Structure 1
Amino acid sequence: MKKIFLLGYMGSGKSTIGPLLAAKLSYKFLDFDAYIEKMEGKSISKIFKDEGEIYFRKAENNYLKQLISSSEDGPEVIALGGGTPCYSQNMDYLKTAMTTTVYLNSSYKELTKRLWINKQARPLLNSLESYEALEEYVRKHLFERSYYYNQADIVVKAQDETPEQLASKIIKTLF
């Protein structure tokens, strides 16, 4: 198993669980959003603002293809952006490549709770002024994206466990 891709909605724990999982497996860890920011030389929110979402999704697709086809990186755990599997046939690329995909499945209620605490750090959520508006936003987007997320090789319920417990749970499922 060379590359393990973590998928899930924002707040599902991909960037928290990814490094733990990578360390337990002695793999490298890569946060895909940070990778895109490095390659583009600006933040994701600045890319959206300056270039627009269509540009971002095309760049995201190109960088994902590069990561999938790159064999020199060795084994990696890669935490994808929440929308990555849902655009530009990215999920099809992930499914046909020699990769393993893991969906961190959290309820909209749990995601809303996590995102409300850290709302200011997420530009897409800044305009949502109430907890109820955030919950509706998460519920709608999670419903739209669940079709893609549920195509993952492994679906892990990410609710009450600690990040360490979830990383161990994923490893048990992998092997």
Structure 2
Amino acid sequence: MRPADRAALGAEIMSHWPALLRAARRVVNDPATAEDLAAEAVARVLRLSLVEGQRIEHLRAYLCTAVRTIGADHHRRDRLVSFVGDVRDDQHPLAAAADTALFERMVRVEEHENIARAFSELRTRWQDILHRIDIEGDLLIDVATDLGMRPNSVAALAWRARRALRENYLAS
């Protein structure tokens, strides 16, 4: 990779730094730890791109996913490490599993919020098409008849709506 390409990659990654910090702060409460998670995600992406030569299509989404993965590893590691002064007699052996379940629920909630936000940004017509086809399970022919369209036109409209939904989600 040429030095100019490396500089461009670095600038592009750093343009997503605020989003990385927001994603990291959803995983951990400590601002310093959040910065560490974000920095580790940047280091991993740089290693993948510069050392291993992989091209990453949706950089922001990849970075945020890396932050969440690193955060999960961080929680798992903290759960496994206990200092003698930290161990309490009343500590239940399933407390660590409960912490992990809580973290996983938090990640699921965040994903659902991102999907809902991406869906709400779609045009109303696209929302209606996706809801009828993907949620209600209506057939293309039925949707086409109700809308006075041809089934091929409804299929094309659904394809464009799904693509827009994917782009909105990856932009978050």
Task: Please give the range of the TM-score, normalised by the shorter of the 2 chains.
Answer: under 0.3
Structure (1/2) with the larger strand percentage: 1
TM (normalized to structure 2)?
0.25
Question: Larger relative contact order (C-alpha < 8 A, sep ≥ 6)?
Answer: 1
Structure (1/2) with the larger helix percentage: 2
